[in-house]
Chain A
Amino acid sequence: MSKHLKVTFQCYVLINCIFWALLLVMRLKRFLLRYYPPGIILEYEQGGQVKTKSIDLLDLASTDDALSIAQNLSLKEPLITQTRIPQVQKLVTKLQEKIGSTGDRQFYLFKVLRAHILPLTNVAFNKSGSCFITGSYDRTCKVWDTASGEELQTLEGHRNVVYAIAFNNPYGNKVATGSFDKTCKLWNAETGQCYFTYRGHTSEIVCLSFNPQSTVIATGSMDATTKLWDVQSGQELSTLSGHSGEIICLSFNTHGDQVLTGSFDNTVCLWDVHTGQQTNTLIGHRGEIANAHFNFDCSLIATASMDRSCKLWDVRTGHCIATLRGHEDEVFDIGFNYTGQQIVSASADATARIYDAGTQKTIAVLEGHESEVSKVSFNPQGTHVLSGSADKSARIWDVNTGECMQVLEGHTDEIFSCVYNYEGDTILTGSKDNTCRIWR
């Protein structure tokens, strides 16, 4: 090889190496804060692509030393270089301030919306809480402005009850509706235009969800199947068949690669979203499943059943870790707090119960409702529980003492749905009395 050629070759190798090194080099672009559950999202560039990585700080306490947490993170995470430590320390402090706030506030009735001419089914906020949607027996879904109580859009087109509804959070520019007419529709939340009608189910659609990336919609039906649909193309991606009873609830994990389905066949199934294959079946309940959820880090699933018990499952093995007892009648709803450390359940026995997810012991029994409790959830801060009941009231409870802090009264018929917004400073209740109430 001539000298000249050798140099050229060496140069080529060198450029190639630099090129590959550049591809692999991760350049931190910015930090994003996530309050609920507490975490720092790193946005970085690698090989010309912008990617994100999430550092979860689920155990963060307001008394922890922010500097040492930042230093620790720097040791574990190459993107957080020494020079970034003061910045990360500031972010941790900011998260701690948020955690320190208990979300304590007295809610008052802000607005009564004569929302529909027939009973409401479900209600849901967009991420910021500026808008919300209501589904109804009057076959419509309506989009509302939270601050003014103004009706922004009526999504008309379904031929039967609009039962399941969802925003494509965090974006909030699309709405999916699942109906007893067996179809699911995708709408533009701002214009009310219907993008697609997803047809294929042979019975009522009763639950639905966007995946966290908002690229896929999953719908669960009384026909015992779950279907995955493409948001962009309007095509069916797969049918998840395997249950022998109606699908009653479904939920994506945090990454969006797994979906769980709960059924009246007493089981919960886990599915791989990409292949549509069933990966596990959680068998053990002796009554219909009422609801099921992943915890935030997707290691556990909590299930509520008509067999009067709740169960906790290991996602990896599919084994039942514990049975949460105490309710004296069917359990209708269940939920984790955002950090996954506590579980709350609601029952026909007119109580709700809070359990420690680690020890599986009962922390508090929430007594006060005069009739069955059908909906329950934690506030984002994890300090309070919101419950909705057939006794026409919603109640707010203190997680630590189990005491009822407030009764939200006024509905003239039972409450079918109640939710917090992401900040935890607004509550929405939807009722059989055809109205929706905003509390703040």
Chain B
Amino acid sequence: MGLLSILRKLRSDHHKELRILLLGLDNAGKTTILKSLASEKIDQITPTQGFNVKCVNTPGFKLNVWDIGGQRRIRPYWRNYFENTDLLIYVIDSTDQKRFEETGVELRELLEDEKLSGVPLLIFANKQDLFNAAKASDIANLLKLHTLNGRTWQIQACSALKGEGVQDGIEWVMKTAGAKAKKK
């Protein structure tokens, strides 16, 4: 995927392709989710220093999924990728209780951005296979998701490592995006 392919994915055809942004703090499991979606091996994942893009074919839609590195020093560059986003997936490490506040602040900031206004939001409460994982409903409360106005959202418990829950999330993506496409 050279630079040219990236340009092509910038201007995805909204009737056939969905541009999905995968964001979240470092170590939340974004790249693992991306690989799991693309049915690739998930051993040897290292912190993403830039971004990964993969095309996922689903019935009816081609998903262009952009996984953007989550380290603090590169978070200011998330905005580079906001243009033409159809759906935002925000990934949370459900075991990293210490950083729930930090992840909440980052999410709020994202949702305030004009370019992402009205963009449907799916939250993956990842790492549910670990014993100390917080429940999805608790995370929803902590993040005060019920206070979100004018935005379709969903929280989905999952374990990218075990491949559990990811598909359920994607089905919601398809349903939501399908409804949006019809409206267009």
Contact = CB atoms under 8 A, between A and B. Distances in A.
A and B co-occur in one complex = yes
B11 A222 contact: yes
Given A160-B80, A222-B11, A119 B50 contact: yes
A221 B58 CA distance: 31
B74 A374 contact: no
A246 B10 CA distance: 11
Interface residues on A, range: 20 to 34
A117 interface: yes
Given A160-B79, A160-B80, A374 B7 contact: no
B7 A118 contact: no
A308 B51 CA distance: 27
B8 interface: yes
B80 A264 contact: no
A375 B1 CA distance: 11
Interface of B: 1-5, 7-8, 10-11, 49-51, 69, 73-74, 77, 79-80, 83
A246 B7 contact: yes
A132 interface: no
B4 A374 contact: yes
A174 interface: no
Nearest to A245: B11
A139 interface: yes
B47 to A, nearest CB: 12
Interface of A: 117-119, 121-122, 137-139, 160-161, 163, 180, 204, 206, 222, 246, 248, 264, 288, 290, 332, 372, 374-375, 388, 390, 413-414, 416-417, 432-434
A204 B10 contact: yes
Given A206-B7, A222-B7, A434-B50, 8 more contacts: A139-B77, A246-B11, A248-B4, A248-B7, A372-B2, A388-B2, A390-B1, A433-B50
A137 B3 contact: no
16 contacts: A118-B49, A118-B74, A121-B3, A137-B77, A163-B3, A206-B7, A222-B11, A246-B7, A248-B4, A264-B11, A288-B8, A374-B5, A416-B2, A432-B50, A433-B49, A434-B49
Contact of B3 (A117, A264, A374): A374
Nearest to A415: B2
B2 A374 contact: yes
Q: From DSSP, what is the main secondary structure of chain B's interface residues? A: helix
A266 to B, nearest CB: 13
* Residue in B2, B3, B11, B73 whose Cβ sees the most chain A Cβ within 10 Å: B2
A416 B74 contact: no
Contacts of A163: 3
Nearest to A122: B3
A123 B79 CA distance: 23
A372 to B, nearest CB: 7
B4 A117 contact: no
B80 A139 contact: yes
Contacts of B4: 248, 290, 332, 374
Contact of B2 (A180, A204, A414, A434): A414
Given A160-B79, A206-B7, A137 B51 contact: yes
B54 to A, nearest CB: 13
Contacts of B80: 137, 139, 160-161, 180
Contacts of A414: 1-2
Contacts of A374: 2-5
A413 B2 CA distance: 11
Given A374-B2, A390-B1, A137 B50 contact: yes
A164 to B, nearest CB: 10
A137 B3 CA distance: 12
Contacts of B73: 117
Contacts of A206: 7
Contacts of B79: 160
Contacts of B83: 180, 204
B1 A372 contact: yes
A267 B69 CA distance: 36
Nearest to B50: A119
A161 B6 CA distance: 12
